[in-house]
């Protein structure tokens, strides 16, 4: 039962963080920034947010820098939007998963087009 509630809370945090990111005015955060994964400790004291950018790893690192500077505001907004007794401390980490998946998709499309040409 507890794992179901934790999973639901994790998804709620992910959804709200995505909405908050869209509202931020920092130019480092603007663009195709995506929350890939959210990991929350069982006592809701810490939350690790993995962020990816379509433009690549360097862009994701820039976004993480902007998110770290706005983490107080983001945490406050998260507390206002979700009914949590304790809002977790946020840690942002860059990842290149969107770029990686786009590259795999591109390779698969190239293989399909080569197969059709034969």
pLDDT over 90 at 118, yes or no: no
Q: Would you give the end-to-end CA distance of the chain in angstroms?
A: 54
Residue-level pLDDT at 89? 95
Q: What does the alpha-carbon distance between residue 85 and residue 82 come to, in Å, rounded to a whole number?
A: 9
Chain-centre distance for alpha carbon 41: 17
pLDDT band at 65 (very low <50, low <70, confident <90, very high): very high
**pTM of the predicted model, to two decimals?**
0.79
Buried b (16+ CB within 10 A) or exposed e, 75-90: bebbeebeeeeebbeb
User: 8: domain range?
Assistant: 2-117
- CATH number of the CATH domain containing 104: 3.30.300.20
Please state the domain count of the chain: 1
Which tens digits make up the pLDDT trace of 75-115? Answer: 999 999 998 888 999 999 998 877 777 778 888 888 887 77
């Amino acid at each position: 039962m507890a794992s179901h509630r934790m999973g639901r809370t994790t998804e709620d945090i992910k959804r709200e963080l995505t909405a908050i990111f869209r509202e931020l005015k920092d130019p480092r955060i603007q663009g195709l920034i995506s929350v890939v994964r959210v990991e929350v400790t069982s006592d809701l004291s810490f939350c690790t947010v993995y962020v990816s950018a379509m433009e690549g790893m360097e862009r994701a690192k820039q976004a993480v820098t902007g998110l770290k500077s706005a983490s107080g505001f983001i945490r406050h907004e998260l507390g206002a939007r979700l009914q949590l007794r304790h809002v977790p401390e946020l840690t942002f980490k860059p990842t290149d998963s969107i770029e990686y998946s786009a590259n795999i998709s591109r390779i698969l499309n190239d293989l399909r087009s080569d197969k059709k040409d034969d």
